[in-house]
Structure 1
Amino acid sequence: MKDYGQVGAFALWDELSPEDRELLVRGTSSQERLSSLDLSRIDRIIRRSLGSQGFTSPTAEPVLEFSMSKVEGRSPEDKERWWKKGLKTISEGKLAVVLLTGGQGTWLGALILKGVSVVVAGNGEVRLCLNQFM
């Protein structure tokens, strides 16, 4: 997985039971087997697809922890300034909001129901609530 930039897929490997590890790698059917994936072929397809669009490497990178800050404890003036700067940056196409669902929010520590994503404004007002129905 390291060769394909997917090391994070096994970040919690040590926390899995032997049965869960087996299920992840082998699956319950031939269609679910992680071990049956041709990762080299998938990687080539992705690289060609991105290359045809002019992308040579991933353009999204994780935000480094030291460059993050929390709103809690900030003055109302700072919160207002950040809010306006955020809206301006979004309107200029320099920033996007990514909602993680499918368990990713839970994995990152969100205390909401699985399949539900909530965007909350600075004043605590819910701006958007998405429910995943399948």
Structure 2
Amino acid sequence: MYPANTRHVLYVEDDRINIVLMEEVFRRLPDWQLDCAEDGAQALSLLENLQPDLVLIDMNLPDMSGLALLAQLRSNPRNAGLLCVALSADDLPDQVIAARSAGFSDYWVKPIDVIQMVEVLRAALPSV
């Protein structure tokens, strides 16, 4: 369990380099905890015990799409209001529209602008 003032993020990503980069970013953020899942099944398993403030979901996972993961995640009423952001190297308008229509609150294009990401995270999830 984490201290009450800790913000918790679940990052679902299959590319190990991206995971390492995100872990380095979060090491420098006091009061933030990052957990990682490398596929949709692992993310769903972790969500049985975690209550993150935010889930960052890669749209192209090895076992399912980010859209499919979001649908499965949302099928659990406990996750109905969970803030989820789509991540992808693809920025075609149809894909962004599909992600937002499915329920993602935002769509970030890789490579992620780390400084902007941290600003968005702090604005969306201010310290408690």
- Which TM-score applies when normalising by structure 2? 0.24
The structure number with the bigger radius of gyration is 1
- Please state which structure has a larger fraction of its residues in helix: 1
Higher relative contact order (CA 8 A, sep 6+): 2
Higher strand proportion (structure 1 or 2): 2
